[in-house]
Amino acid sequence: MDIHEYQAAEILARHGIPVNAGTVATTPAEAEAAARAAGTLVAIKAQVHSGGRGKAGGIKLARTPEEARAAAESIIGLDIRGHVVSKVLVVPGVGIDQEFYLGVVLDRNARQILIMASAEGGVEIEEVAQTNPEKIIRIHADPDRGVQPFQLRQMAFDLGIPAGKVAGFAAIAGSLFRAFLDEDATLAEINPLIITKEGDWLALDSKMSFDDNALFRHGDFEALRDMAEENATELEARQSGISFVKLDGNIGCIVNGAGLAMATMDAVKMHGGDPANFLDVGGGASADQVAKAFGLVTADPNVRAILINIFGGITRGDVVAQGIREALARVAVSVPIVVRLSGTNAEEGRALLAEAGLTAVDTMDAAAAQVVASAA
C-alpha cells in the first residue's frame, strides 16, 4: 500500500524525525493561502503515488503567494506517469547545506532489512546504485537485535558527515528503521535528508509503503488510502482475495495462480492477442469468487472474448465450473468464452460445464489460440 509524501512525513514526525511540515492544498487558492500563511519562499509539490515528480514538472518553487497559486495551477491536474495530481503539498523553502539519501528496505536475497545511505541526496537511489554503487553505504539489520547506534554512527562517518552532526544522523536513521518495523513498511525513505544552512537535520522528502499482509495490525492505515490513486476495480477485487490488474487489450483472462496468469497472458500474446487484464482468482477459490472474477472481467467494455484457465490444485475444477455456471446465470455474457480446465476434479468440472453448454479446451496453448481467434 502506497501513501503520499505528506502522510509519510506525518508518520516519520511521530517517530521523532524532524520533517519539513507543510500544508496540503487541493486548489490553487488553498495553495496561495498556505503560501501566505507560511510567509516565506515555498515549494509546491505534487502529491501522487509515483516517482519522477521533479522531472515531470510536479515540484515548483514560489517566492510569493501569487506564484504559489500559479504553480499549483500548473501542477494540479498534471499527469505524472499515469497518476493525475489532485493535491499539492505547500512547504516552506529551506536553505540546504548538504543533502543525503537515507532508506530502509527489505533485501530479498539476504532476507534481512537493509539500511542504505548515500551522500548523493536528491537522486533516485536506483540511479546511484547503477552509476556509483560504491557511494551507497549499506547496513543489514540483525533480524533479532535490529541495528545498533554504533552502526549508524559508522555509516555517518563513512558518508563523511561532520563529527558534530553524526549523533543527529544516527538518531534519524535509528528512528527511520524503527518506523519501518513498527509500521510494517516495505519502504521507508528520506530523499533528500538534509543539513540546513542553519546546521539542522531535516527530512525534506519522505516516502513510505506498507506491507499489505500486515495491514491487519494497522487499522488506522485505511484512512491514509487515497481512493483517487487506487483503481476502484482493483481494490474491490483485492477485497475478495482476487488479484486484478487492468490492461489495454481485449481478451479477458481469469486464471488461478499469479504465475499461470502471467503465462496465460504470454500465451495470448504469442498467438497475436492482447490481454485485457491480469486476474488471479487465488487459491481455494469458491464458486462465489469465480463469479466475482467473471463480473470484474465482463465489466470492461473492451473485452471481446474471455479465457478461463484453471489448473486445479487447491482450487477444484468442479467448484470453478459451478462458479462459471452461477455467473452466467446472473450476468448475460455476450462475448465468447473459452474454458481450459485441468488438475483436481477437472473431469467433474468439465461435466458441469458441458451441462451449461460450454466445452473445455484441453491445453493452455490451444485455449489461447482459440480465444484469440474468437476475439478477432
Partner 1 sequence: MSILVGNDTRLLVQGITGREGTFHTTQMVEYGTNVVSGVTPGGLGKEVAGVPVYNTVADAVSETGANTSIIYVPARFAPDAIYEAVDAGIHFVICITEGIPINDMVPVYRYVRERGARLLGPNCPGAITPGEAKVGIMPGFIHQPGRIGLVSRSGTLTYEVVDALTRAGLGQSSAVGIGGDPVIGTSFVDVLSLFQDDPDTDAMVIIGEIGGSDEEAAAAFIRERVTKPVVGFIAGQTAPPGKRMGHAGAIISGGTGSAADKIAALEAANVRVARAPFEVPELVRSALASA
Catalytic residues: 101, 189
Closest separation in Å from C-beta 81 to partner 1: 7
Of residues 232 and 332, the one with the C-beta less far from partner 1 = 232
Q: Is 53 annotated as a binding residue?
A: yes
Handedness of CA 268, 270, 274, 278 (dihedral sign): positive
Out of 13, 24, 166, 187, which residue is the one contacting partner 1 (CB under 8 A)?
166
Q: What is the CA radius of gyration of the chain?
A: 25
261 binds partner 1 (CB under 8 A): yes
Closest separation in Å from C-beta 160 to partner 1: 12
Of residues 25 and 147, the one with the C-beta less far from partner 1 = 147
Closest separation in Å from C-beta 17 to partner 1: 19
Closest separation in Å from C-beta 316 to partner 1: 9
Q: Are 300 and 331 in contact (CB under 8 A)?
A: no
95 binds partner 1 (CB under 8 A): no
Handedness of CA 334, 336, 340, 341 (dihedral sign): positive
275 binds partner 1 (CB under 8 A): yes
Stretch of residues binding partner 1 (CB under 8 A), selected from 70-78, 89-97, 162-170, 351-359: 162-170
145 binds partner 1 (CB under 8 A): yes
Look up cell 528512528; give the residue: 175
Binding mask of the shown chain, residues 182 to 221, with x at each position contacting partner 1 by CB under 8 A: --x-x------------------------x-xx-xx----
Q: How many residues bind partner 1 (CB under 8 A)?
A: 64
- 322 burial (CB, 10 Å; 0-12 / 13-18 / 19+) is buried
Query: How far from 328 is each of 131, 287, 292, CA to CA, in Å?
Result: 55, 12, 11
Nearest-CA neighbor of 148 among 118, 126, 178? Answer: 178
Q: Are 234 and 245 in contact (CB under 8 A)?
A: yes
Q: Is residue 301 reached through a cis peptide bond, with omega within 30 degrees of 0 on the bond before it?
A: no
Q: Is 109 annotated as a binding residue?
A: no
Of residues 256 and 370, the one with the C-beta less far from partner 1 = 256
Query: How far from 44 is each of 91, 219, 287, CA to CA, in Å?
Result: 7, 30, 49
Q: Residue 278 and residue 276: Cα distance in Å, rounded? A: 7
Binding mask of the shown chain, residues 228 to 247, with x at each position contacting partner 1 by CB under 8 A: ---------------x-x-x
Range list of H helices, 200-271: 232-239, 258-270
Q: Is 138 annotated as a binding residue?
A: no
Stretch of residues binding partner 1 (CB under 8 A), selected from 10-18, 109-117, 196-204, 351-359: 109-117
Neighbour-count burial for 173-206, b at 16+ CB within 10 Å, e otherwise? bbbbbbbbeebbbbbbbbbbbbbbeeeebbbbbb
Name which of residues 278 to 297 contact partner 1 (CB under 8 A). Answer: 278, 280, 283-284
169 binds partner 1 (CB under 8 A): no
Pairing of strands 201-203, 88-92: unpaired
Q: Is 191 annotated as a binding residue?
A: yes
250 binds partner 1 (CB under 8 A): no
Q: Residue 133 and residue 140: Cα distance in Å, rounded? A: 16
Closest separation in Å from C-beta 327 to partner 1: 20
Q: Are 357 and 324 in contact (CB under 8 A)?
A: no
Q: Which residues fall in the annotated binding site for ATP?
A: 45, 52-54, 94, 99
- What residues line the site for partner 1 (CB under 8 A)? 81, 106, 108-109, 111-113, 126, 143-145, 148-151, 153-154, 157, 163-164, 166-167, 181, 184, 186, 211, 213-214, 216-217, 243, 245, 247, 255-263, 265-267, 269-270, 275, 278, 280, 283-284, 310-315, 342-344, 363-365
Q: Which residues fall in the annotated binding site for Mg(2+)?
A: 191, 205
